[in-house]
Amino acid sequence: MVGVTTDWRPDEFLDGYEVRTIPLATDPDGEDPIFASLVRRPTDGITPRGAVLYVHGFTDYFFQTELADFFHQRGYAFYALDLRKCGRSLKAHHQPHYTSDLAFYDEELNAALDIITDEVSAAGGTPQVIVSGHSTGGLVTPLWLDRLRTANPERHGHVVGLLLNSPWLDLQGEAVLRSAPASRLISAVGSVRGMQSLPRELSSAYGDSLHTDVHGEWTYDLVRKPLAGFPVTFGWLSAVRAGHRQVHAGLDVGVPALVLRSDKSSFRGKYDASVDTADCVLDVKQIAQWSGCIGGRVLAVAVTDARHDVFLSIESVRRRAYAEVDAWMESEFDK
């Protein structure tokens, strides 16, 4: 890619972090050039006991430095991947977050995993990786690991755990939206007019609850993560629904998994205080229903009063969420 360097360089969004570009092959969806962006927190000279690979959700990118600090303090190198057409990888000619098949993301996920294991090994650490996914990233990552387990067992062998944060495992909303006719309509329109937006606007309630410009405590780039979200397209939603069907049929990610979610949902057209202590994006009952379908060793935990991104909840709630991760890691990896 002309003008793009694959070397590590200072990240323009987070002080002290570094980013490198992962060049990608020709875009199956015709929006070349495309690339992915791998972000890392400097290890400060420690020999890592392992690493974490974090994957964001829809209308999202990596900015959650507190999460990176949590893992760093426990001896893990931390990396985050901004997928093609997302966050740091989004360019003006791209439909934001667009893909017509979630399996296309395997290219950058495989490349990121290889970079991480090589770097951890070179630093004298153990090339074992915990994969973490939020929301749509919590759908993308188990699908990837299920494929990787059979397609490339050696690469899969570097993954030791999966941490999902409010994974998107079914379509929220009225039951008719999940009916067979609705699914056929989404698929049909997606196959011929994939980048056509659905005639439904997203609420800004969640974004308003997070950002310091409105009611929240977090600062992030509103071009990469607008308050009301990016438009939802038929082609992208068709890809997501295909992923949901795969989950419902049963996956095997091949590693222990921890699934965190809120204890309740609160859907609002505009911000009110209830969205500060609930998931206002996904239906947590659906998350509970389908979590067990991702593998044979899954611990599902409802974190009381958590937001959609559990690690962006109010301070006392996210402390409880981190305690759950601590306990899980001690149980699975500190034996």
Closest CA relative to residue 182, chosen from 241, 250, 102, 244 = 241
Q: What is the pLDDT of residue 176?
A: 62
Reported as a single tens digit per residue, the pLDDT across 85-144 is 999 999 999 999 999 999 999 999 999 999 999 999 999 998 999 999 999 999 999 999
What residues have CB less than 8 Å from 189, skipping those under 6 apart? Answer: 196, 234, 238
* Average pLDDT of span 196-208: 88
Q: What is the pLDDT of residue 1?
A: 41
Q: Within 10 Å of residue 92's Cβ, how many Cβ atoms?
A: 4
Dihedral sign, Cα of residue 258, residue 263, residue 269, residue 273: negative
Question: Which 8-state DSSP code applies to residue 273?
Answer: G
Reported as a single tens digit per residue, the pLDDT across 84-97 is 999 999 999 999 99
pLDDT tier for residue 3 given thresholds of 50, 70 and 90: very low
65 pLDDT more than 50: yes
> What is the distance of C-alpha 169 from the center of its chain?
12
Q: What is the pLDDT of residue 2?
A: 37
What are the tokens at 120?
A: 């951890």
202 pLDDT more than 70: yes
